[in-house]
Amino acid sequence: MQQRRVFSGMQPTGEAHLGNYLGALRQWVALQEQAECIFSVVDYHAITVEYDPAELPRRVFDMAVSFLAAGLDPDRCTMFVQSDVPEHTELTWVLNTVAPVGELERMTQYKDKTEGMESIPAGLLNYPILMAADILLYRATHVPVGEDQLQHLELSREVARRWNRQYSGGEPFFPEPQPVMGDAGRIRGLDGQAKMSKSRGNTVGMLDEPEAVWQRVRTAVTDPQRVRRSDPGRPEECNVFALHRYFTPEPELARIDRECRSAGIGCVDCKRMLAEGIAREFAPMRERAAEYRARPERVREILGDGAARCRALARETMQGVRERMGLTAWTEVPAGG
């Protein structure tokens, strides 16, 4: 039986934020103790929308620093930059030959991103195929995903099935990757509505100083029916309280719940405690990030070593792909046909 191998990636948006941490990085840190893990800064995914090429290298570096600051250990997992392994795009083309266009057009994220566009880049349609290639290139057995990525992972499984059936005689050359669901679910932004993201400005930087954390958290939306401090609150409807679950010990969380319902605590106080909890948890990450920023050559070394290992794995996979697809057999055709 194949060893449990985990793959996941994150786009280089610069320093990671609260949503990245709760939705992915926290889980990745735990998984590196349980399985063989490969984590990537997926820069090819980042170029499917308009971006500044001059800023991309800094964003890649900052995301790599965030990986390390969050607790990913290069001795326990492999970290690399996607574009350093050219087989990602090679396998993407191969999988394009079996991926069903109808399924691609039904992707919820594709519909959301292209709404209102007059001219749609093909990269947005093929984005899930690149994601499938990322996973299947390393023949990963498990992928940590949020609810919003389950549809893409199911497409990866379908693509693996189709390729195996057509070129591997039904034998599972590519495993059908299984989802690893975290406990965070869908993380709502500080606005209480949209998904937490840097582009929407509804999050907190993972490496922000305590005062910056407070300035962001103080803008958070709370229970919309609690207009005055004397109004009883509904913690189950409050996004600030939902975030407390990740940063506040259970006894204190229970106290906040009681005092919110009895109007014994105000929303500003609740936000202040959340900001303190976030800043406290992120303190060691800020320290690690500062250490790595002072040694950029170490970050480059980690990513370079990771890319070298991934290139070896990728070459092995692509050799098997080419053999099964008849892309190498032409060398064995005898002279004269």
Listed in sequence order, the DSSP H helices in 168-295 are 210-217, 239-247, 250-261, 267-293
Closest alpha carbon to 13 in 52, 51, 59: 59
Burial 309-324 (b: 16+ CB within 10 A, else e): ebeebbeebbeebeeb
Percent of the chain with pLDDT over 70: 98
Chain centroid, CA 251 distance in Å: 31
For residues 255 and 275, give the distance between their C-alpha atoms in angstroms, rounded to a whole number.
17
The string of pLDDT tens digits covering residues 180-223 is 987 766 778 898 888 888 888 889 999 999 999 999 999 998 88
Q: Which of 4, 161, 162, 198 is catalytic?
A: 198
Lowest mean pLDDT, pick from 62-71, 104-113, 185-194, 313-322: 185-194
| Both structure tokens of 331 | 């060398």
What is the mean pLDDT of the segment spanning 87-98? 97
111 classed as catalytic:
no
Q: Which of 4, 162, 195, 261 is catalytic?
A: 195
271 classed as catalytic:
no
DSSP-assigned letter for residue 23: I
Closest alpha carbon to 103 in 179, 39, 155: 155
Beta bridge partners of residue 78, listed in sequence order: 38
113 classed as catalytic:
yes
For residues 211 and 64, give the distance between their C-alpha atoms in angstroms, rounded to a whole number.
24
The residue length of the chain stands at: 337
- Has residue 35 got a pLDDT over 90? yes
pLDDT at 64: 98
Q: Which of 103, 109, 113, 242 is catalytic?
A: 113
pTM here is 0.92
Domains of the chain in sequence order: 5-187+295-332 (3.40.50.620), 210-290 (1.10.240.10)
pLDDT at 34: 93
- Has residue 1 got a pLDDT over 70? no
pLDDT at 194: 80
Sequence-separated (6 or more) residues with CB below 8 Å from residue 129: 92, 95, 96, 99, 104, 159
More confident residue, 267 or 84: 84
pLDDT at 336: 67
pLDDT at 2: 57
What is the mean pLDDT of the segment spanning 300-307? 98
What is the mean pLDDT of the segment spanning 12-17? 95
- Has residue 227 got a pLDDT over 80? no
Own/partner contacts of 146-154, CB < 8 Å, gap of 24 or more, are 146/23, 146/24, 146/182, 146/184, 146/185, 146/186, 147/181, 147/185, 147/186, 148/108, 148/109, 148/186, 148/195, 150/179, 151/107, 151/108, 151/109, 152/107, 152/109, 152/128, 153/177, 153/179
For residues 100 and 125, give the distance between their C-alpha atoms in angstroms, rounded to a whole number.
11
Chain centroid, CA 192 distance in Å: 21
The string of pLDDT tens digits covering residues 99-128 is 999 999 999 888 888 888 889 999 999 999
Residue 170 pLDDT class (50, 70, 90 cuts)? confident
